[in-house]
Amino acid sequence: MSISDSLPDEDPSTKTQNTLLEKEQLRRPSLKVDAPLRMVETAFLASTASLIWFINFYFPLGPVLRIFFPVPIALVYLRWGKRAAWMAAVTSGLLLSVLMGPVRSLLFVMPFAFMGVLLGATWHRRVPWMVSITLGTLLGTLGVFFRLWLLSILSGEDLWIYVINQVTELIEWAFLRLQLLASPSVFLIQLGAIALIVFNNFIYLFMVHLAAWLLLDRLGNSIPRPPQWVQVLMDYEG
């Protein structure tokens, strides 16, 4: 009888434990790599969002940089999830608070940092464009009123009056073109101001979606497909 025959058989439970240990050892390096990578990417994209706001504030380039305000934080959500996106939003707000002061930091956080988290959540769940654009429009509209409220408190003037004056001139010009002799009522002017704010935010969110669709596809973090007419208009094959 050989020596190998005299050895006792290995317990099956021991084999199972060894297999589990091997799998755990293989899994640990990936966890050790993912944690620093998540932290570095979150910090980098949060600083990118802050830098875009910072540059646009002092060197405005029209709507070009404004379109990308919420995109870096939304990209954090697509890559690392909800917790990382909220951390990016808070980090960008704190960084801007140091660079530009708490007031200007708040003007970025509400609505653009929150909008980045919202868009990241909707894109991660692959909801249609109309849903994400509508939710973003509501948040953007709230952000406009928050900005008017905050700046009115700090300046000591009611900035809503300036908005009403601009809308009044626009409505009076429209009445003149339509040859209407009636003067617009206060309710119509306020309703027109709110409608104009909502419309501007809707167009802005559409442009954000369009830019994110073209950019994030190339980064490997695609968002839901746009309506067919947008793909035909852009002559895009995806």
pLDDT at 19: 58
Contact 119, 208 (CB under 8 A): yes
pLDDT tens for 69-109 read 999 999 999 999 999 999 999 999 999 999 999 999 999 99
Is the pLDDT reported for residue 33 higher than 70?
Answer: no
Q: Which residues contact 123 (CB under 8 A, 6 or more apart)?
A: 74, 77, 78, 132, 212, 223, 224
Would you place residue 43 in the very low, low, confident or very high pLDDT band (cuts 50, 70, 90)?
A: very high
pLDDT tens for 144-199 read 999 999 999 999 888 999 989 888 888 888 888 887 777 778 888 899 899 999 99
pLDDT at 90: 95
pLDDT at 62: 75
What is the C-alpha to C-alpha distance for residues 166 and 97, in angstroms, rounded to an integer? 31
**Per-residue CA distances from 93 to 10, 110, 235 (Å):** 59, 10, 38
Which of the two residues, 181 and 215, has the higher pLDDT score? 215
pLDDT at 212: 95
What is the C-alpha to C-alpha distance for residues 129 and 224, in angstroms, rounded to an integer? 7
pLDDT at 181: 73
Q: Which residues contact 128 (CB under 8 A, 6 or more apart)?
A: 224
pLDDT at 26: 46
